[in-house]
Copies of this chain bind each other. A is one copy, B any other.
Amino acid sequence: MLVVMQQGAGEPQIQAVIDRLVEMGFTVHRSTGVLHTVLGGVGPPECYAQFDPADFEVMEGVKECHRIVSPYKLANRHFRPQGTIVRVGDVCIGGPHVVVMAGPCSVENRQQIDECARIVAESGAQILRGGAFKPRSSPYSFQGLALMRDAAARHGLLMVSEVMDASQIPLLMKYSDILQVGARNMQNFNLLREVGGVGKPVLLKRGIAATIEELLLAAEYVMTGGNYNVILCERGIRTFETATRNTMDVSAIPVVKKLSHLPIAGDPSHGTGRRDMVLPLARAAVAAGADALLVEVHPDPDHALSDGAQTLTPRLFAEMMQQVRAIAAAVGRAA
């Protein structure tokens, strides 16, 4: 941890910073330069946990403050330089295979979810995705999950579904193989803590205004609870461009690979918001190194309950699977 004092900062200002660092438990090293005095603090992990650079940057005479020690440790690549492979049933995410999770935005009825599962399985994908809790329904309904479980089982698929609230965890644990934490809940620390205590993998989606560092901090929060099976997911950020609903930050994929050992998926459906952009961005994500894809597909997207504009038709999905296989092969992987 480093505090750089402003040019001309007075001794009382410097001393106030030193006092505060010492009070927090840091040992302080002072280095007096021609222009700037720099204070370096070293201490036990507890010191860093409560340390916020902004608190020092508003002190009198301080120019800037840098956290040197990475704010995430368990999610850091140094923790597992060889990378993490998340195992779900017989599927491995983070290994040589690019895993595809696909399905409708919402489970609508038995026939629809079964038909979705059939499409997903026929094209060779491994995991069925789908939302079982409609925001407006009772938090105690579970029918969607049961229907989805049946459909997945019938077609030999695993399944992933979103947990929107800590109270839904028991149900999800019963039915789903992976628990998805959505973009809007990426900083719902209560929920993150709860899924950190369960024994199933978590798919953690990046918030539309979250930096990559914040995504890794959210993962850290889950891992602190003991659950190391976290799969990250890039699904588009909000920028000034309006041609696509979000701007899919494809570079987040290799950046995460460099900073963390966790596998990362790309979601070109939410990443673009447009069905006609899903295929090129699915290819781009895999080319950039994504370990998995999350895509929306529906037998009849124009009549889907939600997200129709970004949902693939069965034909487009089959085409995507073929293209993704070709790209995966080109980067030395299978799909």
Contacts and interface: CB of A to CB of B under 8 A. Distances in A.
A203 to B, nearest CB: 20
A255 interface: yes
A167 B2 CA distance: 42
Contacts of A250: 248, 250, 281, 284
A58 B309 contact: yes
A275 interface: yes
Q: Which one of A136, A209, A249, A289 has the highest number of Cβ atoms from chain B below 10 Å of its Cβ?
A: A209
Contact of A68 (B29, B36, B57, B277): B36
A184 interface: yes
Interface residues of A, number: 93
Given A187-B184, A240-B209, A280-B288, A40 B36 contact: no
Interface in A132-185: 135-136, 139, 164-165, 167, 184
What secondary structure prevails in chain A residues at the interface with B? mixed
Interface stretch (A84-92, A115-123, A327-335): A327-335
A212 B243 contact: yes
A92 to B, nearest CB: 21
B243 A240 contact: no
A55 B309 contact: yes
A49 interface: no
A267 to B, nearest CB: 13
A231 interface: no
30 contacts: A2-B2, A4-B66, A20-B302, A54-B245, A57-B274, A64-B68, A66-B66, A135-B189, A135-B190, A136-B193, A167-B167, A184-B187, A211-B241, A212-B241, A237-B239, A237-B247, A238-B240, A239-B249, A241-B249, A243-B255, A251-B271, A254-B276, A254-B280, A255-B277, A258-B276, A280-B288, A284-B285, A284-B288, A286-B287, A326-B331
The list of the 5 closest CB pairs from A to B, nearest first, reads A209-B209, A54-B309, A287-B287, A284-B284, A283-B287
Interface of A: 2, 4, 6-8, 20, 29, 31, 33-36, 38, 40, 42, 52, 54-55, 57-59, 63-64, 66, 68-70, 76, 78, 135-136, 139, 164-165, 167, 184, 187-190, 193, 207-209, 211-213, 237-245, 247-255, 258-259, 271-277, 280-281, 283-289, 302, 308-310, 323, 326-327, 329-331
Given A7-B76, A54-B310, 18 more contacts: A6-B78, A7-B70, A34-B42, A54-B273, A54-B309, A55-B308, A57-B274, A59-B302, A139-B190, A164-B190, A208-B209, A237-B239, A239-B249, A250-B284, A258-B276, A283-B288, A284-B288, A327-B327
